[in-house]
Homo-oligomer: A and B are copies of this chain.
Amino acid sequence: MKSETPKPLHKICGNEMINMILDSCQNAGLSPAIIVIPENSDQFESVTRKKIQYVIQKQPKGSGDALSQIKQLSEYENIIVLNSDIPLITPSTISKLIESHIESNATITLLTSIPTENKGLGRILRDDKNNILSIIEEVDVDSQTRNIEEINVGAYCFQSSWVSQALKELHPANNGELYLTDLIHIASSQSQHIESVKLNDSNEGLGVNDRAQLVKLESILRTQINNKLLLNGITIIDPKTTYIDQDVQISKDTTINPNTHIKDGSIIGSNCVIGPDCTIQGSYIGNDCVTISSTIEYSKIYDNVHIGPYAHIRKDSILEKNVHIGNYCEIKNSHIGQNSKSGHFSYLGDARIGKNVNIGAGTITCNYDGSKKNKTIIEDNAFIGSNTMLVAPVTIGSNSITGVSSVITKNVPKNSKAIGSPARIFKTDQRKHR
């Protein structure tokens, strides 16, 4: 991979390969999982989200050596061993492999595939009676075995009692490594029962050895995710440029425009128009929302909200029903009440804004005083004039008005008008603007 990051931690559609495999195992009902990792690979523990047991392989002495690091193998009747670079393997394939293994009472059951291109992959050598004899690695193929179409995917079930013993019989290859795949030959020479399960869709068995392959798998998974959404009643104008994580939920009759990214478990309601050019991360979006050319991060957007273009909704913001956020508006860690509007150029940070509030163009919550962030409160029905500076901490009372270019350094009571820099406050009988 030419990378400082271990291969299984590279991502496909936003998820690390190792997590994709762990998810599939969990969805197939498997537990517990043990991962063999090299020494000094703390990255694994910070990335994997499941309850995992780690076993250290001190020397990189091959997959056979890796498996033999797991001391409690014999505690189980059967084990399943999965390479960490086959992230598209599905729970149903894992289940099928296990079921076949148990039903046939085989010593080994392995997953095979007939890919469009066998180069670099371990070929499955069978005898006349179709019994599996061994796996021939690329370096060992000759003119006879080169064209064998069936290859080893890298997913195996073993009888634990047998494999615990057999691992001790592995001989190092020329490079000093012990290969797990040599177990097949050992088993066949012992006339052990070897079964196989063949993939229907060879894409599922594709492995990753460089970033071109990583990208290929990302493209396959992206197509799968988008097709599923399309058939569930989501319109995706251009699935090739729509990047949706597997854990995202979208409801019926929402349209996703091109060049849109929806990530990190976002949930999107029905009848929305999302994109073009949106990135939505870890957010909830209600029904009937429109977001155009905007970035939304870890926020909650209720029904019928309109955002964009060129808006930026930052972490921990809540936009209530019917809110309108127009161009060049940044909202950070703020709560905006129903029917409130910020149509143009404004920075609302650490603010709590009521209902029916109008935020004039150029409004800024001056939340940072050089050492800490302070809160701004704007109550219902307030009208914030253009270019108002809200020097936090500060509160604007309900029904109050701030003048154009006013600098608000003190709280403004309700039903008042604040004018000037610094603003003076006038009581108003009725709401007049500016």
Chain A residues in the interface with B (C-beta under 8 A): 1-5, 10, 210-212, 214-215, 218-219, 227, 230-241, 243, 252-253, 257-259, 261, 271, 276-277, 279, 292-293, 295, 309-310, 312, 326-328, 330, 344-345, 347, 358, 360-362, 364, 366, 368-371, 383, 385-387, 389, 391, 401, 404-405, 407, 409, 420-421, 431-434
Task: For A211, list chain B residues within 8 Å (CB).
Answer: 230-231, 233-236
Excluding A277-B277, A330-B344, A345-B364, 10 further A-B contacts by CB distance (< 8 Å) are A10-B235, A211-B230, A241-B258, A243-B258, A276-B279, A310-B328, A358-B368, A366-B385, A369-B434, A370-B401
Complexed CA–CA distance, A170 and B276 (Å): 48
Interface contact A404-B383, CB-CB below 8 Å: no
Interface contact B309-A371, CB-CB below 8 Å: no
Complexed CA–CA distance, A364 and B385 (Å): 11
- Considering the complex, give the chain B residue whose CB is closest to the CB of A243: B258
Complexed CA–CA distance, A214 and B237 (Å): 9
Contact among B293, B328, B401 for A345, CB-based, below 8 A: B328
A162: min CB distance to chain B, Å? 40
Task: For A309, list chain B residues within 8 Å (CB).
Answer: 279, 295, 312
- Considering the complex, give the chain B residue whose CB is closest to the CB of A358: B370
- Considering the complex, give the chain B residue whose CB is closest to the CB of A236: B215
Contact among B279, B387, B433 for A369, CB-based, below 8 A: B433
Task: For A258, list chain B residues within 8 Å (CB).
Answer: 241, 243, 259, 261
**What are 24 contact pairs spanning A and B, CB under 8 A?**
A2-B231, A2-B252, A210-B231, A211-B230, A211-B234, A214-B230, A215-B236, A218-B237, A237-B243, A258-B261, A276-B279, A292-B295, A295-B310, A309-B312, A310-B312, A328-B328, A328-B330, A362-B362, A362-B389, A366-B386, A370-B432, A405-B407, A405-B421, A421-B421
